């Protein structure tokens, strides 16, 4: 059986924000360990990418992808032709996994280059009312145990940054697969407390024929900012269930199934 053609789109960490390049390298380890993906890494940093974005946009490489992992921030897809090609690929049936930190990107009111269609793909977005407590201990509850991505998985504890009050700005149909409790006793560096509610951390949706998985877990920062010990490490990737959810989601968005990734037990040595 042919491997799933997965294109991993990586932004530039040197522009600031989450440590997307470190995350990409470790996600590649997980995808390789699952054994059913043909992964093409696209990044303008040659230490990370198999090719640059300029090379990627030549020819029809994008149209050959069955699944995408989108971790670009606002650093790429800021011109209409690139955006439209991605929109057409997903609408035609390719799937996409969005990672933690992408929910704020392409937000016009925050001074970013607007891209409404990718916001519709993500569904849950960071807006004025959104916040997070400090990076720290969190409990994740599986809410849709019958969903292919979640079958057989149990609730788990992790260290992460839990986004609160994300908004479904474009009112797209969503299914929440997992939630995490936002502890009101946890105060962020901005002086904001958790909500005391269960917040969505794994969400699915559709864009045309394409399946979408929005992963709000997985916070990794390039350096310690003073709001949660370990935020500059891979601790958020430690739980076996978190790793399985990500790998299964990459198969599910491409095929609607998790048959080939189901045996993956989450074991892999990350860096």
Can you tell me the distance from the alpha carbon of 115 to that of 105, in angstroms, rounded to the nearest whole number? Answer: 9
**191 vs 223 pLDDT, higher one:** 223
Can you tell me the distance from the alpha carbon of 34 to that of 42, in angstroms, rounded to the nearest whole number? Answer: 20
| pLDDT above 70 for 218 | yes
Note whether residue 263 is domain-resident.
no
Q: Please state, for a pLDDT cut of 90, what percent of the chain lies above it.
A: 84
Q: pTM surpassing 0.85?
A: yes
Note whether residue 269 is domain-resident.
no
Note whether residue 182 is domain-resident.
yes
| pLDDT above 60 for 208 | yes
pLDDT tens, 219-243? 999 999 888 899 999 999 999 999 9
Can you tell me the distance from the alpha carbon of 215 to that of 204, in angstroms, rounded to the nearest whole number? Answer: 9
| pLDDT above 60 for 159 | yes
pLDDT tens, 76-88? 898 999 999 999 9
Q: Dmax of the chain from CA atoms?
A: 52
| pLDDT above 90 for 17 | no
| pLDDT score for 227 | 80
Q: Please state, for a pLDDT cut of 70, what percent of the chain lies above it.
A: 98
Note whether residue 271 is domain-resident.
no
Note whether residue 233 is domain-resident.
yes
- Count the domains in the chain: 1
| pLDDT score for 190 | 74
Note whether residue 267 is domain-resident.
no
Q: Note whether 221 and 172 are within 8 A (CB).
A: no
Q: Note whether 45 and 21 are within 8 A (CB).
A: yes
Domain range enclosing 138: 4-255
| pLDDT confidence band for 16 (50 / 70 / 90) | low
Q: Note whether 117 and 84 are within 8 A (CB).
A: no
Can you tell me the distance from the alpha carbon of 94 to that of 96, in angstroms, rounded to the nearest whole number? Answer: 7
Q: What is the mean pLDDT of residues 20-48?
A: 96
| pLDDT above 60 for 203 | yes
| pLDDT score for 115 | 96
**Which tokens hold the place of 78?**
């800021």
| pLDDT above 60 for 121 | yes
Range 144-147 contact pairs with CB under 8 angstroms and sequence separation of 24 or more = 144/175, 144/176, 144/177, 144/178, 147/175, 147/177, 147/204
Least confident window among 12-26, 55-69, 253-267 = 12-26
- The 3-class secondary structure across 27-79, one letter per residue, is HHHHHHHHCCEEEEEECCCCCCCCECHHHHCCCCCHHHCCEEEEECCCCCCCC
- Mean of all residue pLDDT scores within the chain: 94
| pLDDT score for 268 | 97
| pLDDT above 60 for 91 | yes
| pLDDT score for 194 | 84
| pLDDT confidence band for 186 (50 / 70 / 90) | confident
Note whether residue 50 is domain-resident.
yes
Note whether residue 251 is domain-resident.
yes
CATH number, position 37: 3.40.50.880
């Amino acid at each position: 059986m042919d491997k799933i053609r997965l294109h991993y789109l990586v932004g530039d960490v040197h522009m600031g924000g989450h440590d997307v390049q470190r995350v990409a390298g470790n996600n590649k380890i997980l995808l390789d360990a699952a054994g059913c993906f043909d992964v093409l890494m696209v990044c303008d940093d040659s230490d990370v990418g198999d090719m640059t974005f300029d090379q990627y946009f030549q020819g029809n490489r994008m149209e050959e992808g069955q699944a995408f992992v989108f971790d670009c921030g606002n650093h790429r897809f800021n011109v209409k032709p690139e955006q439209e090609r991605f929109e057409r690929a997903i609408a035609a049936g390719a799937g996409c996994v969005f990672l933690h930190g992408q929910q704020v990107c392409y937000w016009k009111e925050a001074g970013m280059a607007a891209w409404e269609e990718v916001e519709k793909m993500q569904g849950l977005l960071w807006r004025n009312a959104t916040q997070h407590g400090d990076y720290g201990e969190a409990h994740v509850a599986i809410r849709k145990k019958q969903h292919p991505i979640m079958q057989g998985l149990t609730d788990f504890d992790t260290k992460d940054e839990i986004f609160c009050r994300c908004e479904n700005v474009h009112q797209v149909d969503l299914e929440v697969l997992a939630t995490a409790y936002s502890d009101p006793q946890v105060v962020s560096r901005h002086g904001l407390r958790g909500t005391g509610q269960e917040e969505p951390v794994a969400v699915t949706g559709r864009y045309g024929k394409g399946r979408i998985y929005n992963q709000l877990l997985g916070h990794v920062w390039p350096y310690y900012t003073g709001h949660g010990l370990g935020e500059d490490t891979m601790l958020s990737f430690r739980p076996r269930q978190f790793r399985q959810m990500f790998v299964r989601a990459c198969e599910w968005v491409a095929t609607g199934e998790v048959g080939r990734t189901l045996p993956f037990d989450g074991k892999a040595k990350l860096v």
